[in-house]
């Protein structure tokens, strides 16, 4: 009898510990309630278009509309950031295609004409030739600059650099279509009037060390003594 009593007491104690250890039990009613509040997500809400993803017949994108206002009566668009290529605020249908031989953009945006036309002038960077003109005769290649002296080959031009003739490669009309996701980015311009003005308009190239001028590179520059990478056994690397 004593053995049976001990077994009964042991089972009772184990049951009590199990109940206390598990904490509050979830009733069937509570479990059913939790299943009811689980949110359901429709397939139509998974994408930006908000339509049936299995049917394309009724899915139409927002029509893209470019500004139809003519040059001279348009409103300038702020640059996306400092020195970003300006957007074109007017209709360009009559000016395309743009070629090297026929570039109507220059007719209004040439620096000498732009102020009178109320247009944004082409910046000085477009009137520079920054490409070194190396020589290769089919057998021997000769560089026109000495990289060890930090030489550059920059020449001012009196005409638009033909490497930049394709204006629409960087400048494009602004679409007036509704955005699926609004852009909340706000630019902080580093220059005065940076939203409309290029900082290249203030760049002075007179002191730039270019080919054909006396080198302004010092022995310390050649020694690379100010190298950010530091030195190894007093030798620049």
pLDDT one-digit tens code per residue, 140-152: 888 877 777 666 7
Q: How far apart are CA 137 and CA 115, in angstroms?
A: 45
Spell out where the chain has E strands. Answer: 128-129, 135-136, 141-142, 155-156, 231-232, 235-236
The full set of domains in the chain, from first to last, is 63-122+160-177+185-205 (1.10.1130.10)
Average pLDDT over residues 82-98: 90
pTM of the predicted model as reported, rounded to 2 decimal places = 0.59
* Nearest Cα to Cα of residue 186 among 111, 78, 93: 78
Res 237: pLDDT: 45
- Per cent of the chain over pLDDT 70 is 66
* Nearest Cα to Cα of residue 172 among 64, 72, 74, 66: 66
- Contact at 8 Å (CB) between 119 and 149? no
pLDDT one-digit tens code per residue, 107-124: 999 999 999 988 888 988
* Selected residue with higher pLDDT from 226 and 95: 95
């Amino acid at each position: 009898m004593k053995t049976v009593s001990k077994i009964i007491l042991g089972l009772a104690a184990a049951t009590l510990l199990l109940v206390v250890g598990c904490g509050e039990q979830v009733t069937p009613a509570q479990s059913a309630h939790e299943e009811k509040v689980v949110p359901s997500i429709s397939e139509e809400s998974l994408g930006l278009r908000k339509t049936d993803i299995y049917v394309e017949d009724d899915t139409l994108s927002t029509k893209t509309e470019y500004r139809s206002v003519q040059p001279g009566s348009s409103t300038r668009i702020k640059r996306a950031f400092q020195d970003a290529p300006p957007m074109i605020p007017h209709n360009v249908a009559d000016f395309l295609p743009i070629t090297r031989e026929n570039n109507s953009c220059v007719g209004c945006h040439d620096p000498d004409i732009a102020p009178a036309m109320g247009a944004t002038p082409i910046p000085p960077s477009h009137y520079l030739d920054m490409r070194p003109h190396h020589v290769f005769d089919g057998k021997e290649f000769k560089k026109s600059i000495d990289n060890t002296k930090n030489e550059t080959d920059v020449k001012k031009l009196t005409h638009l650099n033909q490497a930049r003739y394709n204006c629409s490669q960087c400048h494009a009309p602004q679409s007036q279509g509704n955005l699926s996701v609004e852009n909340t980015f706000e630019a902080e311009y580093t220059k005065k009037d940076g939203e409309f003005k290029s900082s290249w308009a203030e760049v002075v190239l007179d002191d730039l060390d270019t080919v054909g001028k006396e080198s302004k590179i010092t022995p310390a520059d050649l020694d690379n003594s100010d190298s950010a990478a530091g030195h190894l056994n007093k030798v620049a690397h």
